[in-house]
A and B are shown apart, each in its own frame.
Chain A
Amino acid sequence: MGVALKALLWRDIALARKGGGGLGAALSFILAVVVLVPLSIGPDLNLLARLAAGLMWLSLLLAVLLTADRIFQQDLEDGTLDVMTMSAVPFELVALVKTIAHWLTVSLPLALIAPPLGLMLNLDVAALPVLWLAMVTGSFALSLLAALGGAITAGLRRGGLLISILILPLYIPVLIFGVSATSMMMGPQSAVPSLLILLAITLVCLVISPLACAAALRAYLR
């Protein structure tokens, strides 16, 4: 079973590397936010610094959402998922490994790149490490929830809008605790509780998302 899952992980990473993952589009989205926001709200540095962390979280959230429809749709259309159900590997693990591949190829790179880009919005340099930590933790939850949306809409043409409507409410806790970890109004220590809650959210998603993805995809295979 380990061999099968490793093969699946490498295959999905290879497919993403060959241009199917959507990292480029997602990254351009974040860049567009970083470039356009100062132009739209004006060059008030204090205001920008207050907004920076929140804006980076928001753009990360939406950028990950942009790529959600790619996680399962192709595999459903070309019959890959049919064959994948016919093995000793539990389908839930297939969903989980595909989600991990999405995290490694899209959400994690974005979470690593976004905080430095925040400096263009006058983000406080002292807040950078916490923002990094929070985004790397939260990005896994974002991938898990994106996979859920991708699985539910995998059989629908133009499911993108539906994904946003279904998944954005679930992103709200990640957004709230992600931003509160980085606001640090009471010094660096105040970030810890929020980071722990963010970690807890990620772990809850880790349990629920593969089960829900597998159930949604099975319904399409019928």
Chain B
Amino acid sequence: MFKGLVLEARSLACERGGRLIFKDLDFAIKGGEGVELRGPNGAGKSSLLRLLAGLNKPAAGTLTLTGASHEDRASEAHYIGHHEAVKPALSVRENLEFWTSFLGGESSANFTAFRLEKLTEDEARYLSEGQRRRLALSRLVSVPRPIWLLDEPTVGLDQAALADLRRETEAHLAQGGIVIAATHADLGLKSIRTLEIKRAA
């Protein structure tokens, strides 16, 4: 589905609040590759994901995405961060259907991949942390986009939901997509690369 995708970074540097977080980061990630970002707290894993999502600008270096249908990197990627972008006053259905039409246009909301079928009419304020996380992760499977940027995706998930995440991630990689996850827990994927991030001195 996603063919010939390459995400390439050259001597990338990131600055937050005037402080250099990392520098001279080089990598090339091809379609079908899953990458785990490793590094101690504060090494810049989340910052790198926000850079890749276009939410932040690199202090130096370049990021290029080739082989995607859009030039714009941000609209080719999903970003699941610490904040779930879930509205407590709306039901699970309203939440996911909103994001599906906002991000995808004509695709339809997928409630089954993360087993939300029984919760669709509940207001999101009554969801547990893990259920809210599953609702956020459902954006990944509802709107097809080649790049998944996941910041600690496993937080709050139970074993069954972890298995769902693993299955959907494998399926996405099999289609030629890219998954980049910052995580301390093991995602348990069959083939995965690790990218070590070191703090700038």
Residues of chain A touching chain B, judged by Cβ–Cβ distance below 8 Å, are: 1, 3-4, 6-8, 10-11, 14-15, 18-20, 77-80, 82-89, 221-222
Quote the shortest CB–CB distance from B65 to chain A (angstroms). 13
CB–CB B90/A15 < 8 A: yes
Quote the shortest CB–CB distance from B93 to chain A (angstroms). 12
CB–CB A82/B83 < 8 A: yes
* Chain A facing B: main interface SS: helix
Segment with Cβ contacts to A, from B49-57, B113-121, B155-163, B180-188:
B49-57
CB–CB B55/A85 < 8 A: yes
CB–CB B101/A86 < 8 A: no
Q: From B83, B84, B102, give the contact of A4 (CB < 8 A).
A: B102
Contacts of B81 on A, CB cut-off 8 Å? 79, 82
CB–CB B89/A4 < 8 A: no
B99 on the A face (CB < 8 A) = yes
- Residue interface mask B65-101, A partner, CB < 8 A = 1: 0000010101101110111111101100010011101
Bound: A85/B54 CA distance, A: 8
Q: Which residue on chain B has the smallest CB distance to residue A18? A: B89
CB–CB B89/A15 < 8 A: yes
Point out which of B74, B77, B98 has the most chain A C-beta atoms below 10 A from its C-beta. Answer: B98
Contacts of A1 on B, CB cut-off 8 Å? 105
With known contacts A4-B102, A4-B105, A222-B56, A88–B70 Cβ distance under 8 A:
yes
Q: From A8, A10, A80, give the contact of B85 (CB < 8 A).
A: A80
CB–CB A221/B55 < 8 A: yes
Bound: A64/B139 CA distance, A: 34
CB–CB B85/A79 < 8 A: yes
Contacts of B70 on A, CB cut-off 8 Å? 88
24 example contacts (A-B, Cβ-Cβ < 8 A) are as follows A3-B105, A4-B101, A7-B98, A8-B98, A11-B90, A11-B94, A18-B89, A18-B90, A19-B89, A20-B89, A78-B85, A78-B86, A79-B81, A79-B84, A80-B87, A82-B53, A82-B85, A84-B102, A85-B74, A86-B75, A86-B78, A86-B79, A88-B72, A222-B57
CB–CB A83/B79 < 8 A: yes
